[in-house]
Amino acid sequence: MKKFHGATPRGLLNHPTSPSFEGVFGRIFRTLPKAHFSDKALADLGAAMVAPDEGAGQTPETEIDDEENPGIDAGYTYFGQFIDHDLTFDPNSSLQKQNDPEGTVDFRSPRFDLDNLYGRGPDDQPYMYEPDGIHFVLGPSLTGNDKDATAKGLPRNGGDPKRAIIGDPRNDENVIVSQLQASMLRFHNLIADILMKENPHTTFQHIQQTVRWHYQWVVIHDFLPTIVGQAMVDSILPHLKSGKSIHQEKPKLSIYSWEKDPFIPVEFSVAAYRFGHSMVRPIYRLNQTLKDRQTIFGSDPNKSLNGFREFPLNWAIDWDLFFDPGKAPRVGIDRIQKAYKIDTSLVNPLGNLVIPKVVPAGTPPSLATRNLQRGKEFGLPSGQAVAHYLGVKPIDDKDLRVGKANEDGELPDKNGKIANKLLTEISPEFVKNAPLWYYILAEAQQEFKKNDTPIVLGPVGGRIVAETLIGLMVGDKYSFLNQHHDWCPRKEFFGPDRHFKIRDLLRAIRGK
Ligand code: HEM
């Protein structure tokens, strides 16, 4: 059986062949024809989308890296990965279905319900919880971040390597998403302490709902505007701009609809939401006390952020280096690290994912090639066909390039030459016919003007991502949008700008 992110079977490979199928996965663009490509053209494009190995030549921290996106902090890459794992988690056990008091249909729907934290709950997986059945068991203390004296990792078993004992093993895939998972466990414990102090009879369900709603708020008010831009979010949730209630001003979903329950569109999971792969950096600073930075993947366990194992305990992440606390410097060891630009280039380590548990044997090691091939297997339409459907002018072939969005690649040199290749130079099959995942990255890249231009998803990619995430929340009768239209996060968590963002959630747990 094939696996994704090296963990539990996901159901995605039992994908619908009928365009009108709706299960956990379905289609948005049911009437559009599938695009055709040869495997060779996709392999050549995949190879061209992986940047050359920079080896030791990484931009030093004393300089601004021209591949960084000034509009998106590096932490959103992994928060994006965390969200993906929440939505595509499939608690597909028949035992669970029998035990689900609220009906199997709801339980199996993709929802922002943090089942990647809660797993199957304290009754079914008691070993993840303290004896009170309310608080999560946490892992060992982590040091290195002087701002957080109580930092903790994930609880692990005694095996070799030590595997994390968590709701969704994929959230231990790398050291950053692993510490994000541990922080969310701590946030649950913090909410439990606060609510139990206010009312000793408070229930697990009430604590869980409070945690979920804070997280859902962050997805709508922080993550989405950062990735697709506030204007796109406002066009779908107009009440956010007008200040009216969601009942007075209803959400406007123009492409995503469902018959019974919201589903994960394959155009989202196989193309648009894989935008995150282009944001991965090759190297990260975890905290200010470590001498060196760590590489995202590599063979040396003391230097690389590979997951599915216990990492050195002085690797506590200082989240201020991943989510700007406000006016953080762009250079120096206390700088805010930015995500790499959303463009048609992936960093070199993702071109060769020979990591057991991440890439099963016998599949292409290049993540770019795998994404392109999945698009073909799933019969996705071309980027241009989707643009036409949405009433957006498709990008001309002469503007569809492959490579990094930086001044060395995208602007003419003194001889008037642009270093990046044209997509159609890779294969004539791509004339007016671009694979959807590639097209969505290229569309974001059109925003590029100079190295410090912020880049978000464009009108095709942004609409698929925003309508899917918002649609899933609108269609979930337990989300805060449906249950409590004027609900707000707890005021004590608000940041200095009176917003509640992922940065503030991670700040709330410090020292707790
Ligand atoms: C170091 C970071 C990451 C690695 C190594 C990684 C690796 C992978 C791999 C191997 C797959 C399966 C590919 C296939 O065979 O189809 C995959 C799928 C996927 N990835 Fe990533 N990924 C990373 C980060 C991200 C991020 C940041 C996002 C989004 C923000 C993302 C979104 C997805 C989605 C939507 C899928 C398909 C559905 C799924 O399996 O969840 N990934 N990734």
- Reported as a single tens digit per residue, the pLDDT across 452-507 is 999 999 999 999 999 999 999 999 999 999 999 899 999 999 999 999 999 999 99
Closest atom of ligand 1 relative to the 170 alpha carbon: 41
User: What's the confidence (pLDDT) of residue 53?
Assistant: 87
Extended beta strands in 391-473, E state:
401-402, 421-422
Confidence of residue 76 (pLDDT cuts 50, 70, 90): very high
CA atoms within 13 A on the CB side of 365: 8
More confident residue, 271 or 92: 271
Which among 84, 346, 357 is the best mutation to test ligand 1's pocket, defined by most ligand atoms within 8 Å of the CB?
84
pLDDT at 98 over 70: no
Q: How far apart are CA 210 and CA 94, in angstroms?
A: 28
Residues 6 or more apart in contact with residue 155 via CB below 8 angstroms: 128, 137, 138, 139, 164, 165, 166
Ligand 1 atom, smallest distance to 279 CA? 27
Q: What is the structure's pLDDT at 6?
A: 35
The full set of domains in the chain, from first to last, is: 25-232+260-508 (1.10.640.10)
Mutational pocket test of ligand 1: of 1, 3, 4, 354, the residue with most ligand atoms within 8 Å of the beta carbon: 4
Distance CA 209, CA 205 (A): 6
- For residue 407 the two structure tokens come to 């001044």
Q: Does 90 have pLDDT greater than 70?
A: no
pLDDT tens-digit readout, 384-440: 999 999 999 999 999 999 999 999 999 999 999 999 999 999 999 999 999 999 999
Distance separating alpha carbons of residues 431 and 462, to the nearest angstrom: 23
Residue 33 pLDDT > 60, yes or no?
Answer: yes
The pLDDT of residue 10 is above 50: no
So what's the pLDDT on residue 109?
A: 64
- Closest atom of ligand 1 to CA, residue 359: 10
- Which has the higher per-residue pLDDT, 260 or 151? 151
Q: Does residue 104 register a pLDDT over 70?
A: no
Is residue 92 scored above 90 in pLDDT? no
- Please tell me the distance between residue 455's alpha carbon and the centre of ligand 1 in angstroms: 20
- Tell me which residue has its CA closest to atom 23 in ligand 1: 277
pLDDT of residue 265: 94
- Residue 126 Cα to ligand 1 midpoint, Å, equals 29
What b/e sequence results for 359-380 when a residue is b if at least 16 CB atoms lie within 10 Å of its CB, and e otherwise?
A: beeeebebbbbbbbbbbbebbb
Answer yes or no: is pLDDT of 323 > 60: yes
Percentage of residues in the chain with pLDDT exceeding 70? 90
pLDDT tier for residue 57 given thresholds of 50, 70 and 90: confident
CA of 5 to the centre of ligand 1 (A): 6
pLDDT at 107 (0 to 100): 43
pLDDT of residue 54: 82
- pLDDT on residue 139: 98
**Tens digits of residue pLDDT in 177-231:** 999 999 999 999 999 999 999 999 999 999 999 999 999 999 999 999 999 999 9
pLDDT at position 353: 78
* Residue 196 burial by Cβ neighbours in a 10 Å radius (0-12, 13-18, 19+): middle
Average pLDDT over residues 58-82: 96
Statement: residue 325 has pLDDT above 70: yes
Percentage with pLDDT > 90 across the chain: 82
Closest residue by CA, ligand 1 atom 37:
269
User: Distance (Å, rounded) from C-alpha 342 to C-alpha 405?
Assistant: 8
Look at residue 297 in the predicted model and tell me its pLDDT: 86
pLDDT value at 232 more than 60: yes
Does the structure show a pLDDT above 90 at 13?
no
Question: From atom 22 of ligand 1, which residue's Cα is the shortest distance away?
Answer: 277
| For ligand 1, atom 20: residue with the closest CA | 274
The mean per-residue pLDDT over the stretch 338-361 comes to 81
> Over the stretch 170-179, which tens digit does the pLDDT of each residue have?
999 999 999 9
Q: What does the pLDDT read at residue 360?
A: 59
Tell which atom from ligand 1 comes closest to the C-alpha of 268. 35
Residues with CB under 6 A from ligand 1: 4-5, 10, 77, 80-81, 84, 88, 174, 269, 273-274, 276-277, 280, 296, 353, 358-359, 367, 370, 374
**Token representation of residue 495:** 């940041």
**Residue 25 — pLDDT band, cuts 50, 70, 90?**
confident
The residue contributing the CA closest to ligand 1 atom 29 is 276
pLDDT-derived band at 158 (thresholds 50, 70, 90) equals very high
Q: Atom 8 in ligand 1: which residue has the minimum CA distance?
A: 5
Query: How many angstroms is it from 274 CA to the middle of ligand 1?
Result: 6
Q: What's this model's pTM, rounded to 2 decimal places?
A: 0.93
Phi, psi of 156 (to 5 degrees): -135, 160
Counting atoms of ligand 1 from 1, which one is nearest the CA of 80?
A: 30
Reported as a single tens digit per residue, the pLDDT across 233-248 is 999 999 999 999 999 9
Is pLDDT at 102 greater than 70 in this prediction?
Answer: no
Q: What is the pLDDT of residue 9?
A: 32
Cα(133) to ligand 1 centroid in Å equals 32
CA of 424 relative to ligand 1 center, distance in Å? 26
pLDDT (mean) for 80-104: 60
Q: At what angle do helices 204-218 and 175-198 cross, to 10 degrees?
A: 130
The residue whose CA has the least distance to atom 38 of ligand 1 is 269
Average pLDDT, integer, range 354-376: 77
Cα 461 to ligand 1 centroid, rounded to whole Å: 16
Residue from 181, 227, 367 to probe ligand 1 pocket by mutation (most atoms less than 8 Å from CB) = 367
Distance 427 CA to ligand 1 centre (A): 26
- Closest-CA residue, ligand 1 atom 7, reads 5
Measuring from atom 1 of ligand 1, which residue has the nearest CA?
280
What phi and psi, each to the nearest 5 degrees, are found at residue 294? -110, 145
Residue nearest to atom 12 of ligand 1 (CA): 4
Give the mean model confidence (pLDDT) for residues 80-91. Answer: 85
Rounded distance from Cα 417 to ligand 1 centre (Å): 34
**pLDDT of 359:** 55
pLDDT value for 21: 67
pLDDT given for residue 38 in this prediction: 96
Q: Which atom of ligand 1 is nearest to the CA of 358?
A: 10
- 371 Cα to the center of ligand 1, angstroms: 9
Evaluate if residue 5 carries a pLDDT over 80: no
298 against 208, higher pLDDT:
208
Nearest CA to ligand 1 atom 15: 370
Q: What is the mean pLDDT of the chain?
A: 90
